[in-house]
């Protein structure tokens, strides 16, 4: 991060797939829905878990 204080909040939800410690991954398996904050100066992308932020995806 560059320390600049201007962020853009993306409207789309992204999902990171989960894998087992053994390396197995299932298509269509569990995932973590996240919102993205993007620094408008350097392009750094920060992901934040939707569930922790209290965002309801069932609207």
Whether residue 38 lies inside any domain: the answer is: yes
* H or E segment and range at residue 51: helix 50-53
This prediction has a pTM of 0.69
Counted domains in the chain: 1
Whether residue 13 lies inside any domain: the answer is: yes
* Residue 47 lies in domain: 7-53
Whether residue 59 lies inside any domain: the answer is: no
Specify the pLDDT at position 44.
Answer: 95
Residue 20, C-beta contacts closer than 8 angstroms, at least 6 positions apart = none
Specify the pLDDT at position 59.
Answer: 65
Whether residue 34 lies inside any domain: the answer is: yes
DSSP assigned state of 9: E
pLDDT in tens, 14-59: 988 777 777 776 677 778 899 999 999 999 999 999 989 888 878 6
Specify the pLDDT at position 42.
Answer: 96
Whether residue 1 lies inside any domain: the answer is: no
């Amino acid at each position: 991060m560059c320390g600049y204080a201007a962020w853009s909040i993306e409207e789309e939800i992204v999902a990171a797939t989960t894998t087992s410690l053994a390396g197995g991954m299932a298509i269509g398996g569990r995932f973590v829905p996240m919102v993205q904050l993007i620094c408008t100066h350097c392009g750094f992308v920060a992901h934040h878990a939707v569930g922790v932020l209290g965002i309801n995806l069932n609207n």
